C-alpha cells in the first residue's frame, strides 16, 4: 500500500511501528510545516523500529526552521529526494541512527545543515544539489558520502565536516563538485579518520584531523591540503592537481605525486615521498624523511630539512652523478635534481658517482660499478653490488664493498672495513695496522670465526701484501705485513 501525504498538509508525518505496516513507500507531493520555533516539529519523523521505510520526496517539503526529515534509531530508512527540501536541516540522523540511505537527486536547501549523520553505516548519494547556510554535511560516525557526476555539495561555511570517535572512519567520494565556504571545503576536528577520493572538483581547503586519513586525488582541488596529525597517505593519480601546498603534520605520512608538478610539505616525524612526474618541489621538514626520486627526466627539488634524510634513486637504471657538496644529482633519466639538507643517498642500477659533503652520513651505490666519496665526517659507505671504488676521506668511516671486486680506501683517521659472505675480490689500499682504532670487521663472514682461525687457515703473505682468503673471495691489504697484524685489527 502506498501512503500519499496530501497537498498543503500542515502537520508533520510520523512513521511509527503502527503505520509502517500499511506500506513502506511514502510519496510526498507537498508538505508544509509552519515555523513555530519548536525544533522537534519535524516535517517527517521516523520513530518505527527497523522500519525499512522508503520515502520519496517527489515534490516540495518545506520545514522552515525545523528538520525536513528526522530518523531515530536503526530505522533503515531509504530517502529518495527528487524534489526539494527546505528547512533548518534537510535530513537529521542523530547519534544511534544507523544504516540509513539517502539519495539526493533533487535539492536540499538548508538554513544550517544539509545532512547531519550522527550514527554509523549511513550512506548518501548526491546527484542533485545540497546547499546549506552553514555546513553541507556534518558526519559524526562511520558513514559514506558519494557526490556523483553532476551532483553538488555546498556550504556557506563548510561543504563537509567530520567529528567522531577515534574508531570512526568516514568515506567521502567526489566525482561531482564540492564547493566550500569561509572555513574551507572539508574539515576534520578529531582523530576520526577520513578516506577521501576526489575525481571531480573540490573548491576550498581540505583540512583533516589527527586520524589516519587517506586522500586519492585524480581531479582538481582548488586550495591547500593539510593532512593534520596521524599517519596519513596522500596519492595524486594521473593529471590530478592541487592548487596549493599538500602538507603533512605530526605522524609518519606518505606522499605520492602524479604526472604533473607537486608541492609537498612533510611536517613533523618521518615521512616518505614519491615524486612522480613533473617538476616537483618536496620539503621533508622535521624528522628522518625518505625521498624516492622519479625517472621522468624532469628536474625536481628535494629539501630534507631537519633530521637524518635519504634520497633514493633505485628506479634509475642509467648512470647518476650526485654531489651533496654542490647540491645536485644529474642523470639522463632523472634530469637535474637539486638536493638540500639531505644526509644519505642510494644509487640506482647504473655506474653511479656519489660524493658526500661535511654533513653526509651515508652513501649506498646500489647495483652497478659505483664510485663513492665520503665527506668530511664519519660516513657509512656501502658499494652494493658491482665492482666499486670507495674512498672515505676524513672522518671515522664505515666502509662496505658489498658483492663484487671492490677497491676500498679509508684515507684520514681510523676507519672500519666491513665484509660479509660473498664479498668478492676486494682490495684495501691504506689499512694502518699500527692504528688500534682502524679495524677490519669479519663478523658476517661465517667461515672465519676468530683471530686464531684467521691466522691458521685464511691469512697469508703475498709479496708486500697481506691476503685474507675465503674460498673464491679474497681481501688484499696493500703494503701490510702479517707479522704486524694482531687481534686488535679485527672484529669477529
Q: Average pLDDT over the chain, rounded to whole?
A: 91
Interacting residues of 429 by C-beta distance below 8 A, sequence separation 6+: 407, 408, 409, 478
Looking at residue 2, its pLDDT comes to 42
Q: How far apart are CA 122 and CA 139, in angstroms?
A: 10
Residue 285 lies in a domain: no
Residue 94 lies in a domain: yes
How many percent of the chain have pLDDT more than 70? 90
Give per-residue pLDDT as tens, 416-445.
999 999 999 999 999 999 999 999 999 999
Taking residues 467-479, report their average pLDDT: 99
Contact 208, 170 (CB under 8 A): no
Interacting residues of 21 by C-beta distance below 8 A, sequence separation 6+: none
> Quick one: pLDDT band at residue 215, thresholds 50, 70, 90?
very high
CA distances from 352 to 319, 349, 387 (A): 5, 8, 11
Cell numbers at 307, concatenated: 633530521
In this structure, how many other beta carbons lie within 10 angstroms of the beta carbon of residue 11?
12
DSSP character string of 418-462:
EEETT--EEEES---TT-TT-EEEEEE-TT--SHHHHHHHTEEEE
- 79-103: string of b/e by CB count within 10 Å (b at 16+)? bbbebbbbbbbbbbbeeebbbbbbb
Closest CA relative to residue 445, chosen from 465, 416, 484, 475: 475
Give per-residue pLDDT as tens, 33-88.
544 444 446 777 777 665 567 778 887 888 777 788 888 766 577 888 888 999 89
* For residue 11, pLDDT beyond 50: no
Contact 325, 348 (CB under 8 A): no
The total number of structural domains in the chain stands at 2
Contact 72, 49 (CB under 8 A): no
Looking at residue 1, its pLDDT comes to 38
Flag whether the pTM goes above 0.85.
yes
Residue 401 lies in a domain: no
Residue 307 lies in a domain: no
> Quick one: pLDDT band at residue 282, thresholds 50, 70, 90?
very high
DSSP character string of 186-233:
EEE-SS-EEEEEESSEEES-EE--SS--EEEESSEEES-EE--SSS-E
Looking at residue 27, its pLDDT comes to 59
Residue 106 lies in a domain: yes
Residue 356 lies in a domain: no
> Quick one: pLDDT band at residue 6, thresholds 50, 70, 90?
very low
Q: Pick the last residue of a domain from 184, 199, 219.
A: 184
Q: Pick the last residue of a domain from 146, 161, 184.
A: 184
- Structural domain harbouring 5: 1-184
How many percent of the chain have pLDDT more than 90? 78
Cell numbers at 359, concatenated: 654533513
Q: Pick the last residue of a domain from 184, 209, 234.
A: 184
Residue 277 lies in a domain: no
Looking at residue 26, its pLDDT comes to 60
* For residue 327, pLDDT beyond 70: yes
Looking at residue 22, its pLDDT comes to 47
Give per-residue pLDDT as tens, 149-202.
999 999 999 999 999 999 999 999 999 999 999 999 999 999 999 999 999 999
* For residue 31, pLDDT beyond 90: no
Q: Environment class of residue 36 by beta-carbon count within 10 Å: exposed (0-12), middle (13-18) or buried (19+)?
A: exposed
Number of residues written out for the chain: 492
The torsion defined by the Cα of 465, 466, 470 and 473, in degrees rounded to 10, comes to -30
Looking at residue 55, its pLDDT comes to 77
Residue bearing cell 539517502: 102
Residue 3 lies in a domain: yes
The half-sphere exposure of 374 on its side-chain side, counting CA atoms within 13 A, is 28
Give per-residue pLDDT as tens, 293-312.
999 999 999 999 999 999 99
Looking at residue 192, its pLDDT comes to 94
Looking at residue 58, its pLDDT comes to 81
> Quick one: pLDDT band at residue 99, thresholds 50, 70, 90?
confident
Amino acid at each position: 500500500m502506498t501512503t500519499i501525504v496530501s497537498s498543503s498538509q500542515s502537520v508533520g508525518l510520523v512513521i511509527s511501528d503502527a503505520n509502517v505496516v500499511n506500506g513502506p513507500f511514502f510519496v510526498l507531493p507537498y508538505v508544509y510545516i509552519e515555523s513555530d520555533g519548536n525544533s522537534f516539529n519535524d516535517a517527517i519523523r521516523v520513530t518505527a523500529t527497523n522500519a525499512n521505510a522508503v520515502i520519496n520526496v517527489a515534490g516540495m517539503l518545506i520545514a522552515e526552521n525545523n528538520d525536513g526529515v528526522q530518523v531515530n534509531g536503526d530505522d533503515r530508512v531509504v530517502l529518495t529526494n527528487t524534489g526539494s527540501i527546505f528547512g533548518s536541516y534537510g535530513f537529521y540522523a542523530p547519534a544511534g541512527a544507523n544504516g540509513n540511505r539517502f539519495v539526493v537527486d533533487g535539492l536540499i536547501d538548508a538554513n544550517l545543515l544539509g545532512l547531519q549523520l550522527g550514527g554509523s553505516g549511513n550512506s548518501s548519494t548526491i546527484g542533485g544539489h545540497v546547499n546549506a547556510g552553514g555546513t553541507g554535511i556534518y558526519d559524526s560516525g562511520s558513514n559514506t558520502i558519494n557526490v556523483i557526476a553532476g551532483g553538488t555539495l555546498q556550504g556557506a561555511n563548510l561543504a563537509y565536516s567530520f567529528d567522531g570517535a577515534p574508531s570512526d572512519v568516514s568515506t567521502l567520494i567526489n566525482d561531482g563538485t564540492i564547493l566550500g565556504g569561509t572555513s574551507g571545503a572539508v574539515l576534520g576536528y578529531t582523530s576520526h579518520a577520513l578516506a577521501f577520493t576526489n575525481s571531480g572538483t573540490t573548491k576550498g581547503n581540505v583540512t583533516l584531523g589527527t586520524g589516519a586519513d587517506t586522500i586519492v586525488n585524480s581531479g582538481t582541488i582548488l586550495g591547500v591540503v593539510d593532512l593534520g596529525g596521524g599517519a596519513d597517505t596522500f596519492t595524486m593519480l594521473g593529471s590530478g592537481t592541487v592548487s596549493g601546498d599538500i602538507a603533512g603534520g605530526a605522524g609518519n605520512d606518505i606522499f605520492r605525486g602524479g604526472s604533473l608538478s607537486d608541492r609537498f610539505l612533510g611536517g613533523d616525524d618521518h615521512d616518505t615521498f614519491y615524486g612522480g612526474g613533473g617538476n616537483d618541489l618536496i620539503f621533508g621538514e622535521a624528522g628522518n624523511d625518505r625521498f624516492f626520486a622519479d625517472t621522468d627526466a624532469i628536474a625536481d627539488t628535494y629539501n630534507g630539512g631537519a633530521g637524518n634524510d635519504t634520497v633514493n634513486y633505485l628506479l634509475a637504471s642509467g648512470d647518476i652523478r650526485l654531489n651533496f657538496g654542490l647540491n645536485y644529482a644529474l642523470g639522463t633519466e632523472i634530469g637535474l635534481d637539486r638536493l638540500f639538507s639531505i644526509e644519505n643517498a642510494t644509487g640506482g642500477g647504473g655506474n653511479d658517482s656519489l660524493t658526500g659533503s661535511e654533513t653526509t652520513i651515508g652513501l649506498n651505490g646500489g647495483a652497478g660499478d659505483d664510485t663513492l666519496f665520503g665527506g668530511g665526517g664519519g660516513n657509512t659507505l656501502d658499494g652494493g653490488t658491482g665492482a666499486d671504488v670507495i674512498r672515505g676521506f676524513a672522518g671515522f668511516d664505515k666502509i662496505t664493498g658489498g658483492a663484487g671486486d671492490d677497491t676500498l680506501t679509508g684515507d684520514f683517521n681510523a676507519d672500519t672495513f666491513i665484509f660479509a659472505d660473498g664479498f668478492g675480490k676486494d682490495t684495501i689500499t691504506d689499512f694502518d695496522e699500527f692504528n688500534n682504532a682502524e679495524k677490519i670487521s669479519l663478523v658476517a663472514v661465517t667461515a672465519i670465526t676468530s683471530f686464531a682461525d684467521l691466522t691458521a687457515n685464511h691469512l697469508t703473505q703475498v709479496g708486500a701484501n697481506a691476503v685474507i682468503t675465503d674460498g673464491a673471495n679474497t681481501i688484499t691489504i696493500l703494503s701490510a705485513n702479517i707479522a704486524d697484524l694482531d687481534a686488535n685489527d679485527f672484529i669477529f
